[in-house]
Amino acid sequence: MTVATKTSEAAPGSQPKGPTLMQRLVVRPEIGAALGALLVFVFFSIITDRFLSPLGIATWLDDSSTLGIMAVAVALLMIGGEFDLSAGVMTASTALVTALLAVHAGWNVWFALLASLVLALLVGAFNGWLVMRTGLPSFIVTLGTFLALQGLNLGVTRLVTGTVQVSGIRSADGYNSAGWVFASTLNIGDARIQASVVWWIVLTAIAAIVLVRTKFGNWIFAVGGSLTNARAVGVPADRTKIVLFMTTAFAGWVVGSCSILRFTSVQANQGVGLELHYIIAAVVGGCLLTGGFGSAIGAAIGALIFGMARQGIVFARWDSDWFMLFLGVLLLAAVLVNNRFQKRAERVRR
Amino acid sequence: MSLRVRRGWQRSRRLLPWLAAATVLAACSGPGADVPAPTQSPVAAGKLNSVAVVTHGSPGDAFWNVVKNGAEAAGKDLGVRVEYNSAGDPGQQAKLIDNAVAQGVDGLVVSMANPDALRPSLEKAVAAGIPVVTINSGESESSKYGAIGHVGQSESLAGQAAGKRLADSGRKKLLCVIHEAGNIGANQRCEGATKAFGNGTTLQVDINNPTDAQSRIKGALEADRSIDAVLTLNSQVAARAVDGVKESQSGATVATFDLNTDVVEAIRAGKLLFAVDQQQYEQGYLPVVLLQAYRTNLNTVGGGAPVQTGPAFVDKNNVDAVAALVAQGTR
């Protein structure tokens, strides 16, 4: 916890004397990720001619954004010492609920969105409550919700629609206004920036402020660093963790809403396996798997690396058979760089 | 929960109006309004240099490997650079299409398992003057989205043909095995087959877990002894079904969609009645030819009517002829 507070107060201007600029930079958890992102960015900018074009930028920002929204929430949860394996499937569950209510029950899209939000928050709260109540690892508890949601997604969708995807939300009431919020595009020159990119930036900013500038942010570091110590000094640990689980569920709802309103159809098996991508982005962004250390901005940068690499590989016209290998090597490199910086950061602190 | 905010918030608060202003920038347009009418913008005849093929197959899938081989062979034959990419997630596939548009390819080949999700990206490609040919699935939406043609097999027709053939062989009850939960084409096949056959149920298995697939098929056959026909929708699952039938000692007849060397062997050995071949090599090869004819000569085929690649049937009569072709990855 103290570690984190120091990190936040090491921001330029808040300490007149102390470590040099270099040392202050080096203790930030996101610095390794930022360097990695720069490396990936320069690399693909040089070897491909379209990576830096407005259309190209819009493509990789788009890819990074939905991953980033989730990665930031997952990072907060990881700093709080927990995992959420149901996060990937949650993006499909919320989209399916919204679509089923709007298309098959004839609800206004806004009410459907509200209902899926309530449902998501309930699942999040349930995850958190169960983890705190039983003391079971969140890995197990959320694995359970992951499987349960996956089954519900398929079962309910097939039961209601007779098929495995829900489409047709475009003609539901309130689609236009809701679509404007979650799926509009912003034209900057030739680049068409998706609404999810704006959501990503805004949510990252909010998460970063909450994490390093509020009491709640300190609680997150505290419960992730040492739960018993946190409780001993009066941190409401249960409440903090439950809110964190609800935050990832909320992020899942945002991503689910962006995807259903943009793509206007959702498949029952969507989102399976994405939870690992979120965790990878958070780890690349400087979060420790053991909790108590990390940053929201770092996670957003981690997602950016992921998106740039994934689309950059296509721009580079590499054979897609090798795609996962490239991605794996890239991620390992990013984590290794990160790790090095973290060790150096710990030396500076001592 | 009360968030007691410290002085840092003051600083960030000054940023908020800017953030808000950026969000509501006038250039913003809603998802319904941002797509122009899907008409192909006039293109002058030119040369086809590059084609991007974006499918929904997962990497390493034997079926899509044949499509890829077909597309690459056409590229080699016609002197066109062909890039193949795929993603099973519809959103991810849409992003790969956006990527191809950003690269400024001369032609685009897309499989539409989830047409709604790909619509904005496809219309963007069409608006950018890139001719699009859809393949495999999405036959009914293809021309609506502005594609110049579709190459594939109608899934429900193929399903019906398979169901009819099984019924003709004197079977009474059908088990149709679905191996991908979210695949709409798989559902259409089973619906078609069940409809033409008359009496049947479906079973859900996971193609990524062959052990489980086999034991579930076995379990279904043991639970309902009246099932005397099994239809699988994928060649790998077919092999599992053949073993499942053997283990359960039910004696049910097995038929399948799609070919691989195991299926060829099983047909030869009489363990599989037939395989429905949709000749997906053509779904890779023909679109590149269509795009070439369109780019260089502004030709379209059949006024945009779908080109059917299947169903073709492989059974004991013709299995020897295609065996070598299956081995080389073109059937």
Residues on chain A touching B25 (C-beta within 8 angstroms): 186
* pLDDT tens digits for range B215-231: 889 999 989 999 999 99
Residues on chain B touching A178 (C-beta within 8 angstroms): none
Residues 6+ apart with CB under 8 A from A251: A69, A70, A72, A73, A74, A87, A203
Rounded CA-CA distance A80/A126 in Å is 17
User: Which of the pair, B228 or A332, is modelled with greater confidence?
Assistant: B228
Between CA B187 and CA B302, with CA B275 as vertex, the angle to 5 degrees is 70
Cα A124 to Cα A21, A83, A173, distances in angstroms: 40, 12, 28
User: Cβ distance B311 to B320 under 8 Å?
Assistant: no
Tally helices (H) and strands (E) across chain A.
15, 4
User: Cβ distance B312 to B277 under 8 Å?
Assistant: yes
Low-confidence ranges of chain B (pLDDT < 50): 1-9, 23-24, 26, 33-37
pLDDT at B17: 57
Is A303 a residue whose pLDDT tops 70?
yes
User: CB burial class (10 A; 0-12, 13-18, 19+) of residue A42?
Assistant: exposed
From B1, B4, B95, residue closest to A239, measured CB to CB: B1
Tell if the CB–CB gap between B30 and A164 is shorter than 8 Å: no
Angle at which helices A87-99 and A109-134 cross, to 10°: 150
Radius of gyration of chain B (CA): 24
* Structure letter (DSSP) for residue B275: E
User: Cβ distance B161 to B308 under 8 Å?
Assistant: no
Tell if the CB–CB gap between A314 and B117 is shorter than 8 Å: no
Of A309, A307, A282, which Cα lies nearest the Cα of A293? A282
Taking all residues of chain A, what is their mean pLDDT, rounded to a whole number?
A: 88
pLDDT at A164: 80
pTM score, two decimals?
0.82
* pLDDT tens digits for range B112-160: 988 889 999 999 999 999 999 999 988 888 999 999 999 999 888 999 9
Domains and CATH numbers, chain B: 3-153+279-311 (3.40.50.2300), 156-277 (3.40.50.2300)
Q: What SS3 class is residue A266?
A: strand
pLDDT at A203: 97
How far B24 CA sits from the closest chain A CA (Å)? 9
Q: What are phi and psi of B171, to 5 degrees?
A: -85, 160
User: Which of the pair, B71 or A350, is modelled with greater confidence?
Assistant: B71
Among A124-133, A334-343, B238-247, B267-276, where is mean pLDDT lowest? A334-343
How far B300 CA sits from the closest chain A CA (Å)? 28
**Cβ–Cβ contact A89 with B under 8 A:** no
Tell if the CB–CB gap between A214 and B90 is shorter than 8 Å: no
Amino acid at B135: I
From B3, B31, B89, residue closest to A183, measured CB to CB: B31
Task: For tokens 């962004």, name the residue.
Answer: A285
pLDDT at B32: 52
A8: pLDDT confidence band, cut at 50, 70 and 90?
very low
Tell if the CB–CB gap between B59 and A324 is shorter than 8 Å: yes
User: Cβ distance B260 to B62 under 8 Å?
Assistant: yes
The pair of structure tokens assigned to A96 is: 């399916």
Tell if the CB–CB gap between A180 and B182 is shorter than 8 Å: no
Radius of gyration of chain A (CA): 20
Is A315 a residue whose pLDDT tops 80?
yes
User: Cβ distance B14 to B7 under 8 Å?
Assistant: no
* pLDDT tens digits for range A13-25: 444 556 677 777 6
